[in-house]
Structure 1
């Protein structure tokens, strides 16, 4: 860990980096361990591939508690989006895997062309209360990345045409569900970066930058105790890479302050802890902490804020 000093660009020390690595090796899921190996130790992407495929069901969707708020093994749209995007980032996604997932997703499509966020569980599994009765309607945060993946991998059919219209209409109407969830904004951005309609995408990205730079949606008080967590995204939660299309939404000062605060939030165990937990539920905090830790390390690496690698 490090202390924030004014006008000095601090970096995560080598000792702090080793602490984070050891935390992930001891407490992280195999997914986070494999991601760390791939991002930081020149590990093979095949490890990431196989760790994610372990969450896939025979119906083509992904389950098994991939999202730590529920231990449900049932396939879920949210889990499926998460899995496919991770595979894409590791350059291990292929058309066949996407088509398998579409076999699960397409029957869930609503009349407007959109996909749901989550399905009501068919059985009792440990889960947070908000998964008991998930909203039963189309959402852009699930539909947009799936259409974006189809565009990127050259999958075009009647479904993609209809789903794409739903996404563009949602963008036009400025639907704001989960706007303070940085990951949800990344999922929306993925569509905009891969759609063939580059002119509309450029306008939408410009609008998105203006949107997230608002104090209503971004936590600029980086000393806030929940800064960087759900509902309190900092500038680097949105612009998690210096080449991100969302980077121009923030000043250098705002980005640097966010990075300094990110370094300072590492705890004594080496993790970036969330404190997430729910009554009468298997505590998901450990798994969330692993996800937040690998994401924090990747952001710091991409901004050259780790002392020694």
Structure 2
């Protein structure tokens, strides 16, 4: 029998977000669990968007300047709430993605401080953030010149062969791209990921809560995920472990030292786990 998050534990997680979480995650929670407003999520997310359309200070990238890493995080949220291409936040964000592309290197800098680019960044580590940014260009392709979308997608498929066993986040970025491209490209990406997925994920439950590791449910965030059949025997126990190790304050625990970003990451991770548990019908609503 599949373990589920109880009503009491859900209320505890909600209380944590509402009292200690960021305003952004508060509105995301309301959207997914309380019929909250899409506009309220967008209103909070827009506070992280700069005049050039990029995002900053969301958790992954620089706090003071717009960057590709935080822009990816923003579009994860916009995709998740099914934001329309008519939204100003989307249009400005897509413009930022296109305008920040280095046409000579065929590359997006993760952060401005990453210039000049080391060779490994445009080879083994290219996909994070580049493959994911291309995924969002596909999400809103009506805003993207067709030739540009074709060119960057072709570049992504060339870089796919470089995906290696050290690429936790590169693999996630490619999987997000796979969700948005035509079937033949999706199959190529998924087949490539399958070749080394067990070199990436941690399958030992005693490690999941105690050491920074790639958790199985990252790569199969819902039963509809293409890797779910392959990872099912590890994904469900990993999600059950999230339930069993929920902190007494209500948040789902971090398995790394987030330093000064602890508050933000507890908020982000708590919402991420709740969304995934909901996808798997592992919450007693």
TM-score bucket of the superposed structures, by smaller chain: 0.7 to 0.9
1:202–1:132 Cα change, 3 Å? closer
Structure 1 regions of 5+ residues with no counterpart?
1-7, 121-130
Q: Kindly report which structure 2 residues correspond to 1:154-165, keeping only aligned pairs within 5 A, or say none.
A: 154=141, 155-165=144-154
Q: CA RMSD in A?
A: 2.5
Alignment of 1:166 with 2:155, yes or no, is: yes
- Corresponding residue number in structure 1 for 2:266: 289
1:167-246 map, 5 Å: 167-171=156-160, 173-176=161-164, 179-181=167-169, 184-196=170-182, 198-212=183-197, 214=198, 216-224=199-207, 226=209, 230=212, 232-246=213-227
Kindly provide the CA deviation profile for residues 253-288 of structure 1, in whole angstroms up to 9, marking residues without a partner as x.
Answer: 32322122121121111111215234xxxx111110
The 3 A distance-change label for structure 1 pair 23 and 107 is closer
Q: Give per-residue Cα distances to partners, 1:105-153, cap 9 Å, x unaligned.
A: 3344152422122221xxxxxxxxxx89986844222222222222232
- 1:296 deviates by 0.8
The 8 Å contact of residues 68 and 109 in structure 2, kept in 1 or not, is answered as: yes
Tell me the distance in 2 between the aligned counterparts of 1:77 and 1:268: 35
Alignment partner, residue 137 of structure 2: 150
2:61–2:67 contact (8 Å) kept in structure 1: no
- Secondary structure of 2:200's aligned partner: coil
Q: Aligned pair count?
A: 276
Kept after mapping to 2: 8 A contact 1:150/1:156 = no
1:39 to 32, 42, 58: 32
- Distance, in Å, in 2 between the alignment partners of 1:54 and 1:202 is 37
Q: Does the 8 Å CA contact 1:23/1:269 hold for their aligned counterparts?
A: yes
- Structure 2: stretches of 5+ with no match in the other structure: none
Matched-pair contact (CA < 8 Å) for 2:222–2:279: yes
Report SS of the residue matched to 1:290.
Answer: helix
1:58-137 alignment runs, 5 A limit: 58-63=51-56, 65-67=57-59, 70=62, 72-94=63-85, 97-105=89-97, 106-120=99-113, 137=121
Q: Are the structure 2 counterparts of residues 177 and 52 from structure 1 closer, same or farther at C-alpha, using a change threshold of 3 Å?
A: farther
What is the TM-score when the length of structure 1 is the normalising length?
0.80
